[in-house]
């Protein structure tokens, strides 16, 4: 007799009206590891972002931009069917609005601390026929397949990553909606073949404009796009203020952009956190510690 498959464990859905940051943090750490935020972006905003992503990625028909977790695709000569668009803040104001959306900022301030930063913002476009990724966990855990390079007893009891996926196209099983293993974030470990991730996974399904927030320690991966349409999304990585970012965002941006950045964008770029600093040249006086005790 065939085993009966249990009902899908879908990420709980919140809107701006029903937002509960404490419940979201519990779900990210102790529940399935992901939630969906619905209604944050208008159709016009999604269309604007998608137009830019399509234009930029169409110029990379050989898949020359760096990508990750695509070893099998590279060996098979199909890496060009997954295309990244990096440095999005420099490619349109819409991406600054997405990165610093008030609801996303509100959630991340509770999850990662009030002075959290952004480690990366990019687009990921999977074309029809594009292969999926290997199951993985995200930066700064993404090379935890070599655990000896990380601190002893590192664990997932507190987060060092918050991931946000803003869907620009339908995320369905046919288009390759992100697969994830619910609850896998509770034990910090890089998945391997014996874990059977594909047999245990559910999908992050949704429509354009839906936003999935998940803890990057949950086992996940893009799945093959077996449809006739693109599957694209904005992928934003948020980090505690003291984690070295994956992208050197300020260096990639025009000087004028950095000078004119809003307070939230300055925070996301890490400009409010002074370290690392050349302390030998720093202004004298006591710089850290309580002012009074």
- Sorted by where each begins, the domain ranges of the chain are 13-281
**What sign does the dihedral 50-56-58-61 (CA atoms) show?**
negative
pLDDT classification of 5: cutoffs 50, 70, 90: very low
Give the span between the Cα atoms of 262 and 258, in whole angstroms.
Answer: 9
Cα angle 37-211-133, degrees, rounded to a multiple of 5: 135
pLDDT of 164 above 90: yes
The predicted model gives 134-139 an average pLDDT of 94
CB 57 within 8 A of CB 124: no
pLDDT of 76 above 60: no
pLDDT of 9 above 80: no
**Predicted local confidence at residue 289, as pLDDT:** 84
**Predicted local confidence at residue 68, as pLDDT:** 59
Q: What is the pLDDT of residues 42-73, one digit of tens each?
A: 999 999 999 999 999 987 766 655 565 554 55
E strands along 108-242, which residues?
Answer: 117-126, 162-167, 179-180, 202-203, 211-214, 220-221, 231-239
Q: Please name the residues in contact with 107: beta carbons below 8 A apart, sequence gap of 6 or more.
A: 19, 21, 24, 37, 162, 213
- Helical H runs in the chain? 21-30, 43-58, 71-75, 93-99, 102-112, 197-200, 249-252, 255-260, 263-268
pTM, two decimals, is: 0.91
- Short-list 213, 198, 249, 233, CA closest to 49: 233
Pick the CATH number of 13-281 from 1.10.510.10, 2.60.120.620, 3.40.50.11540, 3.20.20.150: 2.60.120.620
In the block, residue with structure tokens 């819409």: 94
């Amino acid at each position: 007799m065939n085993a009966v498959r249990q009902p899908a464990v879908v990420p709980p859905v919140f809107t701006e009206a029903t937002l509960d940051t404490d419940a979201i943090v519990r779900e990210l750490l102790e529940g399935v590891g992901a939630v969906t935020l619905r209604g944050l972006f208008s159709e016009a905003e999604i269309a604007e972002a998608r137009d830019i992503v399509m234009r930029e990625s169409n110029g990379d028909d050989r898949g020359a931009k760096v990508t990750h977790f695509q070893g099998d695709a590279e060996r098979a000569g199909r890496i060009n069917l997954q295309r990244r668009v990096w440095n999005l803040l420099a490619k349109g104001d819409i991406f600054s609005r997405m990165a610093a959306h008030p609801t996303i900022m509100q959630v991340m301030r509770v999850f990662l601390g009030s002075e959290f930063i952004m480690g990366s913002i990019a687009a990921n476009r999977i074309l029809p026929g594009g292969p999926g990724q290997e199951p993985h966990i995200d930066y700064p855990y993404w090379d935890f397949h070599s655990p000896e390079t990380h601190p002893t007893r590192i664990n997932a009891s507190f987060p060092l990553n918050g991931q946000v996926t803003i869907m620009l196209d339908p995320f369905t099983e046919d288009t390759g909606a992100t697969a994830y293993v619910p609850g896998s974030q509770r034990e910090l470990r890089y998945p391997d073949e014996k874990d059977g991730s594909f047999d245990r996974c559910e999908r992050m399904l949704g429509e354009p404009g839906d936003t999935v927030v998940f803890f990057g320690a949950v086992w996940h991966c893009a799945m093959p796009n077996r449809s006739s349409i693109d599957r694209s999304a904005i992928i934003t990585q948020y980090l505690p203020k003291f984690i070295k970012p994956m992208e050197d965002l300020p260096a990639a941006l025009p000087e004028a952009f950095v000078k004119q950045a809003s307070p939230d964008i300055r925070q996301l770029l890490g400009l409010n956190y002074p370290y690392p600093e050349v302390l030998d040249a720093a202004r004298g006086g006591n710089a850290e510690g309580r002012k009074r005790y």
